[in-house]
Structure 1
Amino acid sequence: MSNHKVNDYCKLFKTENHLGNATVTSLLHYARYLSKSSRGTVTRIEVFVLLTAALFLFLATFGAYRRQHKNLFILKVVFGMCTLSSSLITYIFGSMQSSAVKSSMYSIWAISLFLLYGSTDAMAASSLDDTRQSILIYTYHTSLWYVYVVLLLLSVTSSDGAFHVSMSIDDSHLKGLLTCPVIFLHFIAVLKSLQRVAVCVMASNSWKLNKMVADYMYDEHTRGEFVPATMEGCHYLVDWPLSKSKLGTSSFATVLTAEDDEVIDIEKIWQCNDSSIGLELKYACLSFSLFHLLRRRYFGLACCESKERAHDFVFKGLLSENATDCNRIFRVIEIELAFMYDCFFTKYAVIYYASTAATFWSLASVICISLTAYTVATRLLIIRCDQDEPLLVNTKTEVVITLSLLACAALLELLQLLHYWTAIWARVSYVCQFIRQQSVLDRRGCHCLMRLKELLTKIGVYCASDKHYWQHKLGQYSLLESVSCNSNPSKKEHRVINKFGEFIYSAVRWFTLFDRAHMHRTSYDASVICMKPGKPIELPTEVKEAIVHSLEHTDGKLTNGNSSLVSNGAEHLLWACGQDIYPNISRFLGKENQTHLIMTWHIATCYCEMTTMKNLRSDDEEKLRPHLDVATKLSKYCAYLVVSARKLLPGHRYDTLSVLDAVAVEATKFLKNSRDRYEVMRNLAESEETIFEGGTKLGKQLEEIEDVTHRWKVLADFWAEMLLYLAPSDNVKEHIEELGNGGEFITHLWALLTHAGILERQEDHQVGSV
């Protein structure tokens, strides 16, 4: 290349570099100007207003998906935005109030954000701790924002001070056009924000409501004969006047004083043969009634109903020959838990108990928003400053921002209202109102509003016919599959990352003076074994059928697998169900903890899966596949619960973690450098000193069952019975918290067993003969 060309390139580079530096300098000067000028203050507020509005729309859209997904991004981002929203609003209101020049749109922006905050019904709370702690917090925020908005309303309509309002039309006329709907919107925004307080009160302090249900169920069995197949005599409460109850002077129990026509129970709903009340609506009301019963446990109230009736309700009612569809049974429980989620984490329960008023205020707010938007679009306010600042005009940008905020608020109000009247809460409301009117009116006497409710309810039932209210998946974890081959070159990078992580952890622990004794983590090689669960699978119908079959087979007398082994002629395997199978481990665990048994049978199931896959013939696969799928999926699900949801299992979660770490060390020891896990385990000497060795021994004994189909039936029945045995517990809070994170299948079994009167494991049935 010639020197002339080099010089030309150098000159061009210097020119571009100079232009680039000039552009950066100009941007910095402009940013500095915006940070100090009043125009810059307004611009910054505009940006934060739009950001906060987008945040509320995100919460309204994705907040409801918390109970249908376990996606970490959705859970964490939704939680973070829910926490951030109130702080952003406070910052924006404070910036508006403290700015030297106030845009005439400030008050409308503030009220729009206030409305958006109150209208986001799908995300009233993010955890149960929020429901307890946020009563005062929400009240404080609402009061503070109320004062801010009042001050903004006064300041932007004032003609005194550093600025005045200059208009091309009559001042009083325009102020009247804006002030009336804005003040009314402010009042509605306060009411909607206070609904969040009502959510927290209902979720944490509704003692009278739940005590009345508990006391009512105490003598429910005395109100006539119960026929489970037809629900005749089933007086489980669905709806009743909340104000009509009193404390009995002699029994100190809460007594319902309403007339019979005002109280709606399951019997009345099942006896209604009108075509408007279909089976879907009846089962929704049944779920709502069961939700009332389940909610008592969170408040620590006793389940005092007759154990015999509770047993018959499930085993002769839900599980009767006329209701053998297991999907229908679990659908009832699923909708019940959806009611539970809404009660603790959304505003729908509060709206249900005041549906008429809530509907009126939502429609009124939409009308006022529309009037405000029309006024803003046709009457532009101009703000002049006296001295230093240039003329500040309501630009098209500010008007567009204002109209966008008002449109978002109105749209969100309408969508939330439409969503409520097509959701499960509206189904119960419609059925109860229909039955009450039917008792005093002819069907022809129903007014147009009932026709509209019926239409919206049918639309909701149709749209939700194939919809699940939780993730409908089973988490999966395989201990043997998580043990990687140490000699695999592709794992070197992974080991480097783990070593770097351990270094960072050690450095943080040293600098914070946090002693290692306060942390529990066994020193197994993290590069060899992974504790991260695998990809969850869709919950198969075969698994539901296996669970229902096992529950019917045991008739509610749950064991940790003993019954299934005896019925399948596998008594020689009962040693692996004994609580003292590993004396050195079991003596440190409580009687409730089943982790060592879960991991023993999980290892044995994985061993059998490997040997079956090696020798599986195509002609045997069809009859073998159902049992194999049920056994392996339930085995990996129980292992997943040990790894990722141990708070839902019996026993202390720290003990569960200790056993899990011990098994991880054993698996690392035996399989660390193996290329064929099956061969290593097959050649392992039979022993019961460790959980891994015990599981391998059990796997070999299962392998000796020549009929492969029967072998997998033994395992499938065992795991179905084991999962049922794990379900009963008193950890109500943990189950409800899990509903906000996608839910777990074991929670559905926990609720089903609660309604069958099975609240705890029976010690007489938990240890098998050896």
Structure 2
Amino acid sequence: MGVDTVKDYCDMLKSEIHLTNVSVTALSSVTKDFWKSTRGMVIRIEILVVLAALMFLVLGTFGRYRRRSRNCFIQKSVFGAFSLSSSLVTYTIGSMQSSPVKGSMYSLWAIALFLLHGCTDSITAHSLSDNTQITKQWYQVVLYYLYGLFLLISGMNETEPRAWENPLVIILLGLSLYQFMHRLAAYHLATRSWKLNKIVADYMHEEHEMGGEIDPVTMEGCHYLVDWPLGKSKMNNETYATKITADSNEIIDIKKIWLCESLDTELKYECLSFSLFHLLRRRVFGFACGESKEKAHDFVFKGLLLDPEDGYIRVFKVIEAELTFMYDFYFTKYAAIYYRSMAATIWYLVSATSICLTIYAVATRVMDYDCFETDMDLLSLTIINSKADVIITLVILASAALLELVQILVFWTSVWGRVSFACQHVREEAAEKRSNRGRLSGCCMMIMMTVKSLLANIGMRCDSNKHYWQHELGQYSLIGAVSKSIDSSNPSATNQEDPQLSIMARILTSAVGRTVYLLDYLALSVRSRQAIKIRGEQCKPIKLHEQVKKAVVLSLVRSEGELTNGKSSLVVTKEESLSWACEWDVHPETTCIILTWHIATCYCEMVPYSGGGGGEEAEIRKLQFDVATTLSKYCAYLVVSEPKLLHGHHYDTAMVFDAAAEESIKTLRSATNMYEAMKTLPVAQATVFERGVKLGKELESKPESKRWKVLAEFWAEMLLYAAPSDNVNEHIDRLTKGGEFITHLWALLSHAGILGRKPKHQAGIV
């Protein structure tokens, strides 16, 4: 190629680059001009309105699923929509008000967003702390409606008044205000319903002071409250206790529910869950549990757990439904709807009907108008809506109407609606027996069962027991995490098939680890990088199997509520010689014991299988192996990821784990075989890691069937021992992330009168 040719080629490239720059500049100028134009301003507001509506639809759709799943997409989507929706609505309405471009649909858009926000019943708070911000919510409501009124007034002043629009707008504005008031009522219930909870506390104290035996099987003598008229109570000036003044026929308790033969068994147990929810809620509000410990003990051990071989299934279903009520009370509007169920239902239907009328008016009156633009120099500009504006209005209003209907349908087919129907049915059946005045209750029950059947037939059965929570156990293995950490730091262990991916993964992991370490350093936590890295090596959650539930319940029944830190299980298995592993003189005793036995369990997992045995013996050994390893890794997961659910200060728990992790890395850093490295470790018991290895070696010397029986019994008892705590808010907050099995045990033990642990934890010492 000659010099002239190269020069010509370079000139051509320069010319093309210049033309490209000119094109980009021109396109940028056109885009900028369009964005500032009349239509551009309207499109910007349209986009904001659509985004805000989508966020509320995400909340309405996925808000109720976060108590069933720890799925990252659901959790993050709900959190993002909840955090941004209010700010986005405020910004959008402010943009409408301040924009020189005024559309007659703006007021409808604003009110439609209010409606969408107000009828997202499935989530009113993302965490317990959100419920305390009532003043902020009041300011938000005032701000919303000031903006809405400004838009409405400016729209009526600048456009030709239309009789078909203004009345509907005013009606929708009032309905949206009612929806917001309902949200505020939900906040008040969650934080300030002192009287409601004091009534329960005082009633239970008075009921148990009266004496009398409870038959936990037939519920004869069981007066646990289910439903009562909230407004009929007064303060006793002598005892300063709140007393229910309603007629006894209006008060529904468990005994009346059980005596009602027309209620099916599932519905009776849902009412029992609702009653237990009242009792558990007292702990959140700080009221004392005044019922007799003996009666509470018999209620659980001689009633719910009368047949632990099969009854454990029913027990956990009752607790699951109870915690569903607890979640809904603090994070949704369903409790506020329940206490005003008929009025709320009427308002929902009126609201949906009004929205449908507005949709009809918009569809039939506006489509004939065309959009035009006026000089932007005018201080205020009103445009007639385009078809796109009308379509957006119709879609948003239709979404609001559909959400209103779906939410009230979900309520009436949920446990709240079923309990409400059951209580009304019991009252009306009693009234029929007294006065023979009709069959209204039969109609109510028939309607409820018909709705449930229809929903089941079309695959929309709401709130079935299998969907009350995630039914998974988090898992963590300290030795497995150390092994992964060592492998990831070994250059020879990198992925040869895709070295670039491996390099990027190591860079990302290192960057995250350094960032976390820096944040901890700035927060004066001063935690080890190695410990932070080990914490990140989480295992995938596994399904909670029935044999694990059964093992825990059998351990509870065997203990009769006398919880120990594992020593009772060693007495049962006749291995008292291992009790030294349950003795620690340090403050975070529970954490030390959990990690000691967890390291020993990990060691036993690596012991080569000796063979021998078959048939039923092999099945039993496999069952015990699964129970022991599952609960061991779950307890380790609680130490690493949910230390606030355990007894003691969570920072003490974190420090003990960090020390054990650092020692594990230090000891096993150069190991090529974890089992051999731990087996050849000199016998010592100065630290958690050393005691864990020592315990593992002692267990290794025992027959395999005996080894896993000891571990299975220990871990079932240890999880029960770790469950009682005063960290009530932590348990409630964890319900928003799928829930934890230890929370279900915490609730069960609370109803058995086990609110804490004894000072001494040795078997046989009272």
| TM above 0.5 | yes
The structure 2 residue matched to 1:297, chosen from 280, 283, 306, is: 283
Is the contact made by 1:487 and 1:673 (CA closer than 8 Å) also made in structure 2?
no
Residue 520 in structure 1 maps to residue 526 in structure 2: yes
| Whole-Å separation in 1 of the counterparts to 2:555 and 2:676 | 34
In structure 2, the partner of 1:489 is: 492
**Is contact 2:104–2:384 with CA below 8 Å preserved after alignment?**
no
Q: Is the 8 A contact 1:498 1:526 kept in 2?
A: no
Counterpart in 1 of 2:269? 283
Separation in structure 1 between the aligned mates of residue 204 and residue 515 of structure 2, nearest angstrom: 57
Deviations 1:162-185 (A, max 9, x none): xx43xxxxx5xxx22111111111
The Cα of 1:78 is off from its aligned counterpart by 1.7
The residue aligned with 1:577 is 582
CA distance in 2, matches of 1:334, 1:178: 48
Q: Give, in whole Å, the separation in 1 of the partners of 2:198 and 2:688.
A: 46
Of 388-397 and 694-703, deviating more is 388-397
Shift of the alpha carbon at 1:249? 1.1
One-letter code aligned to 2:662: V
Find the counterpart in structure 2 of residue 625 from structure 1. Answer: 622
Higher mean C-alpha deviation, range 104-113 or range 140-149? 140-149
Which residue matches 1:151? Answer: 150
Q: State how far apart, in whole Å, the 1-side matches of 2:22 and 2:613 are.
A: 76
Secondary structure in structure 2 of the residue aligned to 1:219:
helix
User: Cα distance, 1:80 vs. partner?
Assistant: 2.4
How far did 1:92 drift?
Answer: 1.1
Aligned to 2:753: 757
Q: What pairs up with 1:502-513 in 2 under 5 angstroms?
A: none
Q: Is this contact kept in 1: 2:321–2:468, CA < 8 A?
A: yes
Q: 1:104-119 maps to which residues of 2 (within 5 A)?
A: 104-119=104-119
Structure 1 vs Structure 2 CA RMSD: 2.7
Cα contact 2:321–2:465 (8 A) shared by 1: no
Distance 1:526 1:354, change over 3 A: closer
Q: Which moved more, 1:80-89 or 1:615-624?
A: 615-624
Q: Does 1:647 align with 2:635?
A: no
* Partner Cα distance (2:668, 2:11) in 1: 66
The 2-side partners of 1:400 and 1:489 are apart by: 60
CA displacement at 1:710 relative to structure 2:
2.2
Contact 2:280 2:750 in 1 (8 A): yes
Larger mean Cα displacement after TM superposition, 225-234 or 263-272: 225-234
**Aligned runs of 1:150-189 on 2, under 5 Å?**
150-159=149-158, 164-165=159-160, 175-189=162-176
2:708 aligned residue (683, 699, 712): 712
Match of 2:184 in 1: 197
Alignment equivalent of 2:199, drawn from 212, 219, 222: 212
Paired residues of 1:103 and 1:383 also in contact (CA < 8 A): no
Deviations 1:120-143 (A, max 9, x none): 11110011111012x111111111
Q: Aligned partners of 1:500 and 1:409: how far apart in 2?
A: 44
Partner of 1:261: 249
Contact 2:304 2:311 in 1 (8 A): no
Q: Which residue identity is paired with 2:237? A: T
Deviation, structure 1 residue 595: 0.5
Give a deviation string over 1:574-605, Cα, whole Å, max 9, x none.
1111133xxxxx1xx25xx4111100000111
Gaps of 5+ in 2: 495-501
Task: Kindly indicate whether residue 629 of structure 2 is the aligned counterpart of residue 603 of structure 1.
Answer: no
1:413 aligns with 2:404: yes
Shift of 1:481: 0.6
Structure 1, residues 339-392: CA drift from partner, whole Å, max 9, x if none?
A: 000000010000100111111111111111111111111112678787657983
Unaligned runs of 5+ in 1: 166-170, 581-585
Note if contact 1:727-1:746 (Cα within 8 Å) is conserved in structure 2.
yes
Which range moved further: 386-395 or 179-188?
A: 386-395
Residues 371 and 385, structure 2, Cα contact 8 Å, conserved in 1: yes
Percent of aligned positions that are identical: 51
What's the offset of the Cα at 1:446? 4.0
**Which deviates the most, 535-544 or 695-704?**
695-704
1:746 pairs, out of 738, 742, 764, with 742
SS, match of residue 223 in structure 2: coil
Cα deviation per residue 1:516-544 (whole Å; 9 max; x = unaligned)? Answer: 681231353766x4543210000010000
Does the 8 Å CA contact 1:577/1:767 hold for their aligned counterparts? Answer: no
Q: Paired residue for 1:549?
A: 554
Change (3 A) 1:313 1:490: same
Tell me which amino acid in the other structure corresponds to 1:740: T
Asked if structure 2 preserves the Cα contact closer than 8 Å seen for 1:45 and 1:96, the reply is: yes
Q: Is the 8 A contact 1:558 1:766 kept in 2?
A: no
Distance in 2, matches of 1:85 and 1:29, equals 32
Contact 2:564 2:717 (C-alpha < 8 Å) held by counterparts: yes
Aligned to 1:583: none
Distance in 2, matches of 1:726 and 1:143, equals 46
Alpha carbons of 1:210 and 1:36: their partners in 2 closer, same or farther (altered >3 Å)?
A: same
Q: Deviation of residue 709 (structure 1)?
A: 1.6
Q: Secondary structure of 1:201's match? A: helix
The question of whether the paired residues in 1 share the 8 Å contact of 2:352 and 2:405 is answered with yes
Residue identity matched to 2:492: P
Aligned to 1:59: 59
Task: Kindly provide the amino acid, as one letter, of the partner of residue 76 in structure 1.
Answer: K
CA separation of 1:517/1:273 partners in 2, compared to 1, >3 Å: closer, same or farther?
closer
Per-residue CA distance 1:422-458 (angstroms, 9 max, x = gap):
1110010000011111111356344755532332345
Cα distance in 1 between the residues matched to 2:32 and 2:441: 66
The 1:358–1:2 alpha-carbon spacing in structure 2 relative to 1, beyond 3 Å, is farther
User: How far, CA to CA, are the matches of 1:12 and 1:355 in structure 2?
Assistant: 77
Identify the residue that residue 497 of structure 2 maps to in structure 1: none
Paired AA for residue 724 in structure 1: L
Amino acid at match of 2:622: R
What amino acid maps onto 2:45 in structure 1?
I
Partner of 1:337: 323
Do the aligned partners of 2:474 and 2:540 also contact (CA within 8 Å) in 1?
yes
TM-score, reference length from structure 1: 0.90
Aligned amino acid, residue 755 of structure 1: H
For the residue of structure 2 that corresponds to 1:241, the secondary structure is coil
TM-score by length of 2: 0.91
Q: Which amino acid aligns with 2:472?
A: K
CA gap of 1:613–1:96, structure 2 versus 1, over 3 A, is farther
From 228, 237, 240, the counterpart of 1:249: 237
| SS of aligned partner of 1:320 | coil
> Aligned pair in 2 of structure 1 residues 465, 126: CA closer, same or farther (>3 Å)?
closer
The alpha carbon displacement at 1:496 in A equals 5.2
On the 8 A contact 2:571/2:763 being kept in 1, the answer is no
Q: Hey, what's the Cα distance between the residues in 2 that align with 1:307 and 1:391?
A: 72
C-alpha distance 566-447 of structure 1, shift in aligned 2 (>3 A): closer
SS in 2 for 1:650: coil
* Alignment length (residue pairs): 738
Alpha-carbon distance in structure 1 between the residues aligned to 2:299 and 2:8? 92
Distance 2:79 2:531 in 1: 33
Query: Paired residue for 2:449?
Result: 454
State whether residues 427 and 457 of structure 1, in contact with CA within 8 Å, keep that contact through their aligned partners in structure 2.
no
- 742-751 vs 57-66, which moves further: 57-66
CA displacement at 1:118 relative to structure 2? 0.3
Q: 1:435 to 1:26 in 2, by over 3 A?
A: farther
Q: Find the aligned partners of 1:272 and 1:373 in 2 and give their Cα distance.
A: 46
What one-letter code is carried by the residue in structure 2 that aligns with 1:24? V
Shift of residue 21, structure 1, vs aligned partner = 4.2
Cα distance change, pair 557–28 in 1 and its aligned pair in 2 (3 A): same
Give the deviation of 1:639 after TM superposition.
0.3
Map of 1:480 onto structure 2: 479
- Once the two structures are TM-superposed, the CA of residue 464 in structure 1 deviates from its matched residue by 4.2
In 2, are the aligned partners of 1:557 and 1:765 still within 8 Å (CA)? no
* Distance verdict in 2 for CA 1:317–1:613, change over 3 Å: same
Q: Matched residue of 2:597: which SS?
A: helix
Q: Distance in 2 between matches of 1:289 and 1:150?
A: 44
Q: Which moved more, 1:383-392 or 1:325-334?
A: 383-392
Q: Which residue of 1 aligns with 2:568?
A: 563
- Residues 551 and 458 of structure 1: is their aligned pair in 2 closer, same or farther, counting only changes over 3 Å? farther
Structure 1 CA distance for aligned equivalents of residues 3 and 302 of structure 2: 98
Q: Secondary structure at the match of 1:121?
A: coil
Tell me whether 1:679 sits opposite 2:676 in the alignment. yes
1:37 to partner: Cα distance? 3.0
AA in 1 matched with 2:742: I
Task: Report if the CA contact (8 A) 1:101-1:385 is conserved.
Answer: no
